[in-house]
Chain A
């Protein structure tokens, strides 16, 4: 299967040029039509994957992203959650019963976790699975409206099975959340089974091709053997056997969050490609009276909108690669049972998932706004990138909750340092706090001599800022604890500070990783331009957060001025390379899906061609004329 990555048979050749995968522009299709197209392509894709013998997860992901052009599709949950969960949590007997039928798509499954009333806080889920020893069955119920499963992809119309997460009750006791394989539709007719109410949750901001669904169960019975029992078990008489280790699930979460960091980088790169190419094509107004209208990319305000985002896109690429590599490196240890590095990685990825998805989300919108009115048309591709990307701020852990998870780890590390222990990894800068007890002053008030042209020196500045904000949050938390009784209350009253601390920590990590990357680049010209982007990323971050740096005494007023000035100089330096830097992302026009962002820059002609295909233009005179306008004119 290596050929996938050889130039002779690229994904372009396999997918983009394959007539089977062609279809009308998705922007002109209704939701039902988009769903239908997606299902058609998914079915074909499965067939072609088998034909080409592609089985490696990375290569499947790659192939899929070309078939669906980076868009969601109804089999996502089957391929991404249902099959892997069977592999990791099913017993050998269960694998025999379910895996091959699922692999052959006689069973299409989804993963039903989120409920109407509960998302990120899993322990609050309300669906129940009560064991009945008399018949050796579990009775599944959705006891309240809030307990209806809501959002799972592929559940609405596509799947005939679901892995359902429910509170397990046996021998009168609640044993917490467990996973059950639940058939939901009749094989053959695809009708819902008695006791199952299932459907589509209706239109959303994006994800038109996905049938996110609801599922309500009324005394629905499944055999005891349908509980996934590789770890926890319920014996025939109802005796519950506990699982060995629950930290294992961390591994999956780290993996999924690393994918979101990569998505943030990719989505932002696509948006930057479109906005920067269009800004080179669009001419507007005059800089100098009497001269031709300049490219809008020559305006300082336009550069100030776009180039920091370009630098951010590169930064996030490196961060995504780092997490993926780290995860690969330690996943061997995880299988061996060594979980020592996992808590830090878990805490770090939670914060980075939130940081990168928030930044990319805002960045995509900034790119769209920078394209003026045409950015608002769906032909720009930007509305679509935004609506597809924006739910990643919520799914796989709501961002604010993620930031607070990272904060919990930071506070824990701070407490360890305060009690004389040393900490390692990305938080090791907290060790410097030990000196603080000798000198009764703010940790960050120590003079840091910042050289604003030197990325390594800027990493130190970000480090000092993170240290100061972690310390401030930890101290505020302690002060609240001294005043109030409950831990939770104190935590809540400090949470704004805690989120700020996490953000500063993540920002530091990103600047550090970007800077570290520079020395690995062997080509001098590439290294030079990457160094400019790295400097821009770091300096722009300072200019947007000058309060933190001034308050902690890391920078002086004069240095803040220099930072602002240097940011503007870098804009001018990057300007000649801007288009080349987005060309390097190497998005195929078909994948980019944007008239404004075309590689050839022939924007206006193609906008006109595109508009002619709009559904409202199907007939020269719209039927509303005959139905409404004409009768009104006759009557008035």
Chain B
């Protein structure tokens, strides 16, 4: 069966669009680069591929267009006629023929130019040939531009045609314009057809579906027909004529008995008789509409006669079987406004078309195939036992109650009523615990504990928990007793407090040693090794030594004595003092000359060491050795000492010590300049 649904026809591109599409596709999907220096074969192949590709694509696209459109000979005659009515068959065919011609032309162009390209000797020539080929193809397409546009319009219109199934049970509604066909349609189906008081509101066919007896029926609404000779009919009327002519359906001829459509009954009857040839072999019904405006019994004699005439015609179409209810089957009165008689009309129409179709089927040869498939199985009775219907007793009771007692049922008090009594929605909050099922009703209002001390109460729930706890505590008691015994054993071998003291002292001493060593290690490089005699911090005193020795438990007095005896000042103290007060004098010199030992003794004193140094310089002076007098020598010594002083402050070992530990100290070579330039930070 050829599809009657034209919605799936692909879009027909316009001429320009088609050219754009194909050319851009060629550009994208074929190789784009070729060099002048490549072999001729390659160049030829390159361009031939392009021409071939373009030609094939055009051909394919055009073939698609041609194939998608329906062939008017191959589809249902109803549709072919409809399409003819709407678009003119010849025009349609012509457009498709032009597209076909274009397709053939393009394939010819492609083959011709490919043949020419085989003999192309340079890149430039091949390129020109390719350009010519593509240009010609595009010109061809440009030529069929109008046809493509027409086909696109046709396609769009076809897509919107109503999907009428020519083989389905159909009811056709026809009649003069404005009689009420669309309103009837809206009443029986879900199709929302426009109904307006002016004529020719419906301009094309509309399809709706209705159900009757579990079967689906198609209902087709047509535009109104005027009483005119066939040739003068316009497209809209031709649509309805086509539908009438081709569709095998029940026909409802609508009659407006009130004449409010603008046509008298006589005119409508005339129309009826002019198209009655189309009603052959179709179950026909006359429907008198708008009886709310003009009741049937109030019709004039003439009108009644006309109606009877039409009825007679309709009765001719009745099958032999339906003769009994002749009147009811053929003539209907209804009003779509008040819904009178609408359903009877519909039902009868459905029944008649069904009956008609069944009859036809029965007469045709195909029936034998169908009949074989119908079979109703009736179970055979196997014994005489009665098997009545089974209804559960509760249901029977309920029914009995419902029947006898129309008395008001006892209304249970609802929660809602309770709420309303106690102040309404915002005030009253229903007790959710009211219906709890608990062992004792007093417990209903209890706050159930869920958490205690970081534990979930529910995890511990057990009916014999207290007994278990008692046992646990007993066990624990026993265990603790055992543990106490163990503890006393372990604690035996402990140190005495004096020993602990000694241990602490040892540890402290060790720590101190380690710390000292660490300091020494870290500062070893940068610390100047200052000789011990310039002991500024007074680390090395006899008092200290004495303290340390007595800390160890020894008697320091002997050691202190010895140390002191070796240091001179203690012995010659008094004398020195007097000498110092006088300042220079021959006495000092004399004393010096007495012995070498005294030289040393005079050097150190037990008074402040800083003063000592300056004194020493004065005392040592011995004239001679290149100096004219003591004063000069003192000055010389002073100068000498001055130079040493700075050296010692720089912690340099001697004159020749030019070591610079850090050639580029970071703080002098990095950072932003506070003032000045980088070259002179």
Asked if chains A and B come from one complex, the reply is no
Q: Spell out B's residues near A (CB within 8 Å).
A: none
